[in-house]
């Protein structure tokens, strides 16, 4: 059979299979990310039926998936909201960073992966999944709860931290010297500052540059601008993901809302391919040796995220039940943990087992996070009733 025909058949099977997995995930109430990763593991190197001949498409599709994930994340925030969120949550955000990055770094050092591997694993265990958290809060009807702004402010802080972290990681993965790394960080910080200033003062002009009344033209402009900015950022060693995120921040108002509606289906498509590609590139036989570490990290970082949410909500004067809900909402890890692990592994600068550990960890946390958010309130109420003294007779 002709190579093109085989590639089309394989891609068709992959897309259709992803659709079935996504439907199954939402029916059982979990994020589809774990199932996408499992699908990639099943048909990648060391899997049941390795797919061949579609590597070129899946590689670029995965890169576009990362760009769209970060672009739409940026579209969710205005520059003013980012600044306000940073002011409100900086102390809790710093606590979040320390409590949740240290366990990943410690495990990487224990496994002998060196400082770069430790930095990569710190990012994997640090950042919550904005997509999963938002989905769970919406499904549970908690978007109007008092603790929800606290949760969102922590997510905003994490996103800003990623805008600084990713350029540092990218520079170190590329083997940059200390001076080169500092230069990259400096460029990133300048870029973030400039974008925030431009977005605050001249955001309407950026929006006007990409806006159009015709959906087709609008889609082409926004997607083209995102890929251009991501490519330029990557060329400057700042990170394509950060470039897309900053562009999303600069687009505001109704333009941002319309762009989100147009791009969400594309994001879901290419993001799904990204998770599949990560699974395809991970040999499932490498997971059992690191599974115990993944479970240990899952337990520890679940507790540290709950502690983070509790502290942040307490700062805002929220009652105990709201503090518990805030902590449980932050537990899930997902897309950005895999993005970080993917950057590290594709650069060839870290141990290949990092991909296996990240995959096992995200599989656990993407399932545990939504479950924890759903059961934490009834469990807490049951515990409180049990601890209350019996009424006097």
Q: Which of 360, 336, 377 is nearest to 133 (CA)?
A: 336
Are 30 and 370 within 8 A, CB to CB? yes
Q: For residue range 320-378, what is the model confidence (pLDDT) as tens digits?
A: 888 999 999 999 888 788 888 888 887 776 777 888 899 899 888 988 888 888 888 77
Q: Where are the domains of the chain?
A: 3-379
- Helices 79-110 and 291-315, interaxial angle, to 10°? 150
State the Cα–Cα distance between residues 111 and 118, nearest whole angstrom: 9
Residue 368's pLDDT is 87
Round the average pLDDT of the chain to a whole number and report it.
81
* pLDDT exceeds 80 at position 307: yes
CA dihedral 241, 197, 180, 155 (to 10 degrees): -40
State the Cα–Cα distance between residues 372 and 309, nearest whole angstrom: 13
> What are the Cα distances from residue 139, in Å, to 132, 164, 323?
10, 32, 19
What is the CATH architecture assignment of 3-379?
Answer: Up-down Bundle (1.20)
Q: For residue range 176-203, what is the model confidence (pLDDT) as tens digits?
A: 665 666 676 676 677 667 766 776 676 6
* pLDDT exceeds 80 at position 286: yes
Which DSSP state fits 389? P
Which of residues 58 and 293 earns the better pLDDT score? 293
- Confidence at 156, pLDDT banded by 50, 70, 90: confident
Lowest-pLDDT range of 152-161, 234-243, 331-340, 343-352: 234-243
pTM for the whole thing? 0.76
Give the Cβ contact number of residue 345 at 10 Å: 22
């Amino acid at each position: 059979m002709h190579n093109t025909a085989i590639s089309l058949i394989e891609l068709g099977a992959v897309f259709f299979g992803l659709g079935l997995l996504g439907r199954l995930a939402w029916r059982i109430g979990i994020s589809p990310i774990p199932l996408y990763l499992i699908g990639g593991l099943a048909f990648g190197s060391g899997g049941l039926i390795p797919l061949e001949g579609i590597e070129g498409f899946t590689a670029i599709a995965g890169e576009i998936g990362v760009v769209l994930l970060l672009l739409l994340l940026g579209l969710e925030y205005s520059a003013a909201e980012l600044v306000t969120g940073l002011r409100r949550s900086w102390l809790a955000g710093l606590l979040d960073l320390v409590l949740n990055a240290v366990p990943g770094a410690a495990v990487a050092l224990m496994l002998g992966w060196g400082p770069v591997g430790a930095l990569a694993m710190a990012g994997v265990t640090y950042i919550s999944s904005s997509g999963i958290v938002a989905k769970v809060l919406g499904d549970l009807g908690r978007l109007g709860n008092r603790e929800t702004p606290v949760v969102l402010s922590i997510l905003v802080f994490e996103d800003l931290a990623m805008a600084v972290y990713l350029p540092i990681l990218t520079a170190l993965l590329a083997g940059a010297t200390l001076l080169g790394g500092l230069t990259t960080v400096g460029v990133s910080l300048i870029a973030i500052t400039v974008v925030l200033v431009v977005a605050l003062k001249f955001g309407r002009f950026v929006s006007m540059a990409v806006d159009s009344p015709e959906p087709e033209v609008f889609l082409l402009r926004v997607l083209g601008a995102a890929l251009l900015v991501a490519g330029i950022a990557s060329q400057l060693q700042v990170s394509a993901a950060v470039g897309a995120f900053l562009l999303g921040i600069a687009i505001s108002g109704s333009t941002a809302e319309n762009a989100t509606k147009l791009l969400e289906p594309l994001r879901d498509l290419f993001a799904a391919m990204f998770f599949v590609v990560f699974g395809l590139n991970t040999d499932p036989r490498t997971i059992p040796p690191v599974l115990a570490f993944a479970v240990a990290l899952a337990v520890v970082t679940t507790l540290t995220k709950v502690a983070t949410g509790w502290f942040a909500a307490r700062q805002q004067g929220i009652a105990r039940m709201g503090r518990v809900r805030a902590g449980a909402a932050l537990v899930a890890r997902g897309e950005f943990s895999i993005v970080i692990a993917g950057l590290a592994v594709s650069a060839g600068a870290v141990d290949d087992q990092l991909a296996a550990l990240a995959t096992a960890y995200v599989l656990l946390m993407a399932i545990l996070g939504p479950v924890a958010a759903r059961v934490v309130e009834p469990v807490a109420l049951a515990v409180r009733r049990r601890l209350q003294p019996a009424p006097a007779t």
